[in-house]
Chains A and B, each alone.
Chain A
Amino acid sequence: MRFDTIIIGGGLAGLTAGIRLQEEGRRTAIVSSGQSALHFFSGSFESLKDCPEAEELFDRAGVRLHNLPGSRRLLPGGAFREAVLSLGDVSLLPGEGPIGKKALIVSFNGYHDFFPELLAGALEKDGTPSIQGIVEMEELAALRKSPTEMRSVNIARVLDKCPDKFVQKVKELLADGVDTVILPQVFGLDGDEVPRAISEGLAPLKVIFVGTLPPSVPGIRTQNMLRRRYERLGGTFIIGDSVVSGAVHEGIVSSVASHNLDTYRLFADNFILCSGSFFSKGLHSSPTAIEEPVFGLDVEFPEDRSLWYEADFFEPQPYMGIGVKADKDLHPSIGGEKVTNLYVAGAILGASKDGKYGTGAGKAIKSALAAANKILSL
C-alpha cells in the first residue's frame, strides 16, 4: 500500500500532523497501538500559551481550546498553576483572589480517583471555604458491584446519559452561600456537550471542572474527536498495530513493516515518527543503552546510567530529557547520516532539550505542525 505520508503513532502529535496533511488533500495513514499519552492528558497543553494554527485546526475537529492571559487552573492535588492553552472544560480561574465565596466539592461514594479532601485544604488556604457533597444515583450502583469499576471513564459512560438528573442531584446538595461547584472531569466522552450542559444547568453557580487520576476523560474524548476528524477527512487510521522496522537506504525511508501486516509493507514519500517516549515505547532503555527501536535513530545519552536519574523524585529527571537527535527541520539521523524524508515529532524528541517546541502536549502539537508544514512546503 502506498501513501503520501505515513505517520507512526496515533497520539496527539500523530493525529495533529495527520489532520493537517489530510486538510491539504494529502493521502496519509496513521499506525496506532491504540493507547497514547492522551489517556493521561491533563487537558492543558503544557508550555503553550497560544497557537492560533492549532486552535483553528482543533476547532474544526470540534475540540474547543481556550486560554486567558494571567489566569490560573486548579490541579487535582490541590495546586494552582498558571493557565496555558487548554481544553474548553479546563476551568480558567482569576489570577489571584479567592475562586469563590464558598465552594461545593462533589464526588461519588466508592470513587477514589478524585480527592475532595486535598482540594478542600488548598482552597481553604486560597481563601475559599468549602463543603463536600456526595451524589448518589441508582445508575452508579451497578458500577460499584465490582471494586475496580468506579473509574472516571466508566462513570462518564453512565453520567453522559443523564446529565439533567446529575444537575438536579447537585442542586439538592447546595447549602447557603455556595456560589461555586467543583466537579471531577468525568463528563463528555464523545464531545464537550455534556460538560457544557452541566455548566449551563447549574448557572448562575460557577462550575469548575478538576482533573482525576487516569484514565483522563477529556484526553480520551480529545483522541476520539481528533481521530473522527482525521477519518472524515479520508485518513487511514490503522489501529491496534505498531510499526516494527523501516527500510532505509542512503538516508531515505522507502517503506515500513508492521506487526500485524506481516510481510505486507507500507510505502510512502514521507514518514513522521511520533511514537512517544519511554512509556509509549518510542524509546527503549536497557541497563546500558537508550535506543529508538524502529529505525535505530541516533539518541544521545550518558553512558553512565546513574546520570539518567536524579535521586530526588521531585527534581527534573534527566532521562526525560533524552530523545532522538533531530536537526532544525526535525530530521533524525542514523549513525550520523541524516534521514531526509523522515521527521520526528512529539515526546520522542525528549522533554526539555529543544526550547523551540516546549514540553509535553504543547511540544507534541507544535512539532507535529512543524513537520506537517515542512512536508507541505516540499
Chain B
Amino acid sequence: MNEFDVIVIGGGITGAGTARDCALRGLKVLLVERFDMSTGATGRNHGLLHSGARYAVTDRESAAECIAENKILRKIAPHCIDPTGGLFLTLPDDDLNYQGTFVEACKGAGIDAEIIDPREALAMEPSANREMIGAVKVPDASVDPFRLCASNLLDAKLHGATILLYTEVTGFIMEGSRVLGVKTLNHKTGEEGSYYAKITVNAAGIWGMSVMEKAGITVGMFPSKGALLIFAHRVNRMVLNRCRKPANADILVPGGTVSIIGTTSTRVPLEECNNPQVTPDEVNLLIGEGVKLSPTLAETRILRAFAGVRPLVSSDNDPSGRSISRGAVCLDHASRDGMEGLVTITGGKLTTYRLMAEMATDMVCRKLGMHVRCQTAWTPLPGAEGHSFKETADTIWRTPANKPEEPDIYGDALVCECENISVGELEAAIKHLGAGSLVDLRRRTRMGMGTCQGELCGCRAARILAREGLGDKALSDLRSFMAERWKGIYPIAWGDALREAEYTQWVYKHVLGI
C-alpha cells in the first residue's frame, strides 16, 4: 500500500512532469506536495514559452534546449499554448549592432529568427513602441502553467500514480546511507504517514534546499525573486522582448485576457520564499520599463502585482552564487554525497520542464536498472486534441472553443465572467482534480484571475463548493480567498483598480455581510 518505485517531492511543473514521465514508463509513482499544485514558481511567472532567443547570445546550450522543448510542447500540449509569436525590439536606447549578433546566435541555436522592418513589426503588433529602430521575429509563445501542471498531474494519475496534495515531507526514512522513503504530514487531516520507495526525487524547487537538509545534504541554492505586474487587458498580441542582454522588466507576455510584464531578479532570504512581496520600487521599475516596450501600458489598468522565486542552483564550487547556471541540474546524491536512493532535479525553466522530467526519470530508471524509453516527447497530454483522454479533458477543460455541441443549460452557467469559467468546469475540478478550496479552484481553472479579481465569482464558487459537500468551511475559505486577492491588488490600487476594490468592499461588507 505504502510502497512505490519512486516518490516525487513537489507538485509544481517539474514534479508533475517527472511523475508523469515515471508513470508512463511503468513505474509505480507517489507524488507528495505540501500545499497545492502550482503553488510555487510554477504559478508565479510570465507564462512564457521561450523560443530560446533570450538566451541565444549568453547561453547557447539553454537556448537550444528551449527551442527543442518549445516545438515539443506545441505538439503535446496545444490546449495550454497560445502560439502568439514574439518580437525582439531594438529601441533608441539600445545598440542596433546587437541585433546582428543576436540573430546569428539564434540561428546557431536552431531558432528561426527573422529581421523584419519596424513598420512591418508595428503592423503585426500595433501596441509596440513606434520609435523602435529594429525588430526580430521569433517563435515565442504564451503558455498557461496552471493548466500545463494540472494536465501532467492528471495524466500521471490516469497512469496509476498516487497524488497527495497538502502533504508535506517532514523527514526521510533512512537506513545507513540509503533513503528508503519519506515521512509525511497531511495538513488537511493532521495525519502522519510513511511511504517507501526505491528512489526519491526532490523536485521541490527553492524549497528543495530545506527538504534536502532533512537528509543531511546541502544543495546550494540561490533564491532569486522575480516581480511581475498583470495588466487588465491583453494589450499586445505577441510576446514583446528587448533586443539586448537580458535585463529587468524587458518581457511583456499576452496570456488569456491579460498581459504580464516582468521581471526583476533579486536575491531574497529563504524565509521570504513562501510569501514574496512586491515593493513600490519594483512596481515603479516594471511600469517604467514596460512603457518603453508598449507605451499604451501607461494608460492601462494594472490588475495585480505578484512575485515568484526562481530555484537557481549555486555552482558547487561557488557558494556565493556569482556564476549561476540557469540551466537544469540533475544531481545523483549517491555519487555526489554518498546517499543512495535520492535524486534532485532543479534549476531550469517552465519551458524545459519536460526535458528536466526526462533527465530525472532517466536517472531513476538507470538506478533501477531499467531500460525504458521516454515517451513524453510525442505523447499528447490530456486535453490535447486527438488525445485518447479527450473525453476526460472535455469535462475538465471545457473552454468555449472545445465545449460539447449539446448545451448543458445548468453546467454552462458562468461563474467567473472575466475568465469564462462555467459551473461544469468548477464541478469537474472539484471531482477530478482534487480542488477543495477557492484558491485550489483558481489554480485549476483561472477562476478569479480576471478583471474583477474574484469579486463576483468568489461567492458563487463558494456556494458550489458548499453544494459539493465542502460547505463547512465555505465562509472562512471565501474570506481567505478575498484576502489573498487583495494582497496582490493593494500594491497597485489606484485608478480603476481602486474603483473595483471599493466596489468589492461594498459588496462583501455591506451587501453580502461577509
A-side residues, CB < 8 A to B, are 37, 40, 42, 46, 75-79, 81, 109-113, 115-118, 121, 141, 144-145, 147-148, 150, 211, 213-214, 216, 277-279, 281, 284-287, 305-306, 308-309, 311-314, 317, 319-320, 360
Contact = CB atoms under 8 A, between A and B. Distances in A.
A150 to B, nearest CB: 6
Contacts of A46: 510
A317 B506 CA distance: 11
A314 B495 contact: no
B414 A78 contact: no
Given A81-B513, A145-B409, A305-B280, A312 B459 contact: no
B511 A76 contact: yes
A279 B510 CA distance: 15
Interface of B: 280, 407, 409-410, 412-415, 417, 422-423, 456, 459-460, 462-464, 466-467, 471-472, 474-475, 478-479, 482-483, 485-487, 490, 493-495, 498-503, 505-514
A109 B486 contact: no
B96 to A, nearest CB: 33
A296 to B, nearest CB: 18
Contact of A313 (B456, B467, B482): B482
7 contacts: A110-B410, A117-B467, A147-B413, A213-B460, A278-B498, A317-B501, A360-B510
Contacts of A121: 466, 471-472, 474-475
A148 to B, nearest CB: 5
Interface of B is mostly: helix
B413 A309 contact: no
A110 B415 contact: no
Contacts of A277: 502
A216 B513 contact: no
Nearest to B457: A112
A278 B502 contact: yes
B502 A279 contact: yes
7 closest A-B pairs by beta carbon, nearest first, are: A75-B513, A117-B466, A79-B513, A313-B486, A77-B512, A77-B514, A309-B490
Contact of A42 (B456, B495, B511): B511
B514 A79 contact: yes
B511 A40 contact: yes
B413 A78 contact: no
Contacts of A308: 493
A171 to B, nearest CB: 24
A213 B280 contact: no
A182 B503 CA distance: 26
Nearest to A41: B511
Given A40-B511, A79-B514, A117 B413 contact: no
Contacts of B512: 75-77, 79, 211, 213
A223 to B, nearest CB: 16
Contacts of B413: 110-112, 144, 147, 150
Contact of A306 (B280, B467, B509, B511): B280
Contacts of B472: 121
A286 B301 CA distance: 11
A91 to B, nearest CB: 14
Given A117-B463, A121-B471, A147 B412 contact: yes
A46 B511 CA distance: 11
Given A110-B413, A278-B502, A75 B511 contact: yes
Contact of B498 (A76, A285, A360): A285
Nearest to B492: A287
A233 B289 CA distance: 56
A312 B494 contact: no
Nearest to B465: A117
Contacts of A42: 510-511
Given A117-B474, A144-B413, A313-B486, A216 B511 contact: yes
Contacts of B414: 147-148
A148 B417 contact: yes
B514 A313 contact: no
Nearest to A309: B490
A285 B514 contact: no
A40 B503 contact: yes
B494 A285 contact: yes
B280 A115 contact: no
Contacts of A144: 409-410, 413
